Amino acid sequence: MDQGTVGAISTVLVTIAFFGVCVWAFSPGLKKRFEEDAKLPFADEPEFQQNDDQKKNHPEGRI
């Protein structure tokens, strides 16, 4: 096999792999899992709590 044949085979294999990943990523059966995974970074964040002074100065909840 010469260099051109190896390049052509590599291109075909990478293209097949790319379309395989696209089919996997956009399959409807995995949508719920991906939505849950997208929320993981926010799962450990503590909720913001204001002390009494902040509530008096900013009753609308913004600081």
- Tens digit of pLDDT for each residue in 2-58? 999 999 999 999 999 999 999 999 999 999 999 999 999 888 766 666 666 666 666
In this predicted structure, what is the pLDDT of residue 58?
63
pTM (2 d.p.): 0.55
In this predicted structure, what is the pLDDT of residue 42?
85
In this predicted structure, what is the pLDDT of residue 47?
64
Q: Distances from the Cα of 48 to the Cαs of 6, 9, 39, 52, 54, in angstroms? A: 58, 55, 18, 13, 12
**Sequence-separated (6 or more) residues with CB below 8 Å from residue 30:** 24
